[in-house]
């Protein structure tokens, strides 16, 4: 519904979405799950997700030049990090997404605008203070037409002066991977229902301490999850599934399957906003595949699954708390983890009907 016969009519058709980094969205996770929709309160399957038109590819970005640029960064490092993040998305073999960083920088204050240029830059705003970074999307007629990535210089200016170039470049890359994912149409996804346990993890992880003895499995989180595996260099299968659903390469949709169902408690009430994660054991080092969430009715549609038997791990939604993964009271019901093993068929949708889970009566500690 739009306001008719009003000068604001055209503007009302433009919806601006803000996609922020983890710190801002701990209390209202129903916004921005998995894909963007015209209404941020809704979960949608990929067919109704907002994306760029195919004729918009490659999506072109410009770097902003202004006085907010952190002293610790050089322009060369900044641009290398951006290009590295772009390359990671472009190298997904099952996706047709293409990105370009134009050589020309643009002088601007960095605060998101609607000027038809996709920009990446640093900004501060005393009226709207923020930390981290966020992506601002402009939507017209259900399609993404512009995206600006705005980065606070605050944490960059607090970095030690002796930080090495590789670490800085990797830091830019991580930021770009996540925020560009938002620009392409990906909301936040689920974290794995596990501790981040590993032995082969990148060295950067070691700052958090040694892993449990004899644990050989590395469970990275998706780049688009609230609880990102910051030190993990690659995209997670869930990120790959998401971008491939939005911009599929030839054959991708035909060669993957979909499972849908409704998660309920034993009393029939819906298990709303819980995570449904696929586990594909063929890759023992990284078994988690695509994730999704249930909607307010407990319904879910999990797409981009590899054909064959798959474990679905249904679990409370996770948000980061300090150094651990935790559940937030506002985000997800108290429920016990449940696993089921459906058989996925390529190019088809399997309806699992109702899946009954057990409410956790343990209460808060």
Task: Copy the structure tokens of residue 66.
Answer: 């202004």
How distant is the alpha carbon of residue 107 from its chain centre? Answer: 29
| Closer by beta carbon to other proteins, 135 or else 302 | 302
Nearest to residue 133, comparing CAs of 175, 188, 73, 75?
Answer: 175
Integer-rounded Cα Rg, in Å, for the chain is 21
Longest dimension (CA), the chain: 68
| Closer by beta carbon to other proteins, 103 or else 365 | 365
Task: Copy the structure tokens of residue 27.
Answer: 């209390």
CB of 171 to other proteins, least distance (A): 21
| Closer by beta carbon to other proteins, 45 or else 175 | 45
| 220: helix, strand or coil | coil
| Closer by beta carbon to other proteins, 122 or else 325 | 325
CB of 199 to other proteins, least distance (A): 10
CB of 33 to other proteins, least distance (A): 11
Angle at 241 (CA atoms; ends 247, 354), nearest 5 degrees: 120
Query: Cα(104)–Cα(149) distance, rounded to whole angstroms?
Result: 16
| Closer by beta carbon to other proteins, 37 or else 189 | 37
CB of 10 to other proteins, least distance (A): 12
CB of 324 to other proteins, least distance (A): 5
Compute how many other C-beta atoms are within 10 angstroms of the C-beta atom of residue 196.
22
CB of 83 to other proteins, least distance (A): 33
CB of 153 to other proteins, least distance (A): 28
- 101 HSE (CA, 13 A, CB side): 20
Query: Cα(4)–Cα(15) distance, rounded to whole angstroms?
Result: 16
- b/e for 244-253, b at 16 or more Cβ within 10 A? bbbbbeeebb
| Cα dihedral across residues 14, 110, 99, 25: positive or negative | negative
Quickly tell me which residue has 């309920």 as its tokens: 264
CB of 32 to other proteins, least distance (A): 13
| Closer by beta carbon to other proteins, 66 or else 349 | 349
Strand 275-279 relative to strand 288-293: parallel, antiparallel, unpaired? antiparallel
| Closer by beta carbon to other proteins, 85 or else 298 | 298
| Closer by beta carbon to other proteins, 102 or else 351 | 351
């Amino acid at each position: 519904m739009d306001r008719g016969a009003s000068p604001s009519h055209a503007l009302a058709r433009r919806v601006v979405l803000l996609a922020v980094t983890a710190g801002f969205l701990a209390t209202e996770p129903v916004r921005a799950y998995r894909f963007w929709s015209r209404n941020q309160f809704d979960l949608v399957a990929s067919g109704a997700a907002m994306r760029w038109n195919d004729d918009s590819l490659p999506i072109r970005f410009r770097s902003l030049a202004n006085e907010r640029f952190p002293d610790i960064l050089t322009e060369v490092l900044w641009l290398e990090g951006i290009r590295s993040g772009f390359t990671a998305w472009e190298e997904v073999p099952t996706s047709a997404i293409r990105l370009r960083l134009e050589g020309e920088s643009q002088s601007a204050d960095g605060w998101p605008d609607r000027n038809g240029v996709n920009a990446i830059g640093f900004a501060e705003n005393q009226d709207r203070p923020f930390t981290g970074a966020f992506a601002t999307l402009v939507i017209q007629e259900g399609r993404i037409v512009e995206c600006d990535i705005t980065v606070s210089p605050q944490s960059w200016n607090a970095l030690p002066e002796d930080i090495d170039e590789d670490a800085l470049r990797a830091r830019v890359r991580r930021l770009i991977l996540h925020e560009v994912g938002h620009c392409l149409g990906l909301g936040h996804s689920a974290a794995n229902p596990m501790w981040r346990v590993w032995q082969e993890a990148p060295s950067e992880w070691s700052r958090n301490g040694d892993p449990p003895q004899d644990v050989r499995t590395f469970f990275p989180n998706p780049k688009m999850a609230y609880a990102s595996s910051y030190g993990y260099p690659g995209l997670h299968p869930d990120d790959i599934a998401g971008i491939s659903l939005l911009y599929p390469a030839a054959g991708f949709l035909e060669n993957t399957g979909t499972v849908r169902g409704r998660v309920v408690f034993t009393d029939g009430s819906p298990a709303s906003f819980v995570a449904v994660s696929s586990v594909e054991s063929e890759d023992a080092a990284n078994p988690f595949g695509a994730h999704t969430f249930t909607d307010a009715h407990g319904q879910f549609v999990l797409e981009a699954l590899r054909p064959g038997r798959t474990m679905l791990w249904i679990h409370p939604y996770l948000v980061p708390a300090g150094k651990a993964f935790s559940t937030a009271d506002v985000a997800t019901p108290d429920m016990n983890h449940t696993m089921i093993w459906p058989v996925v068929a390529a190019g088809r949708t399997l309806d699992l009907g109702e899946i009954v889970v057990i409410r956790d009566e343990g209460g808060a500690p």
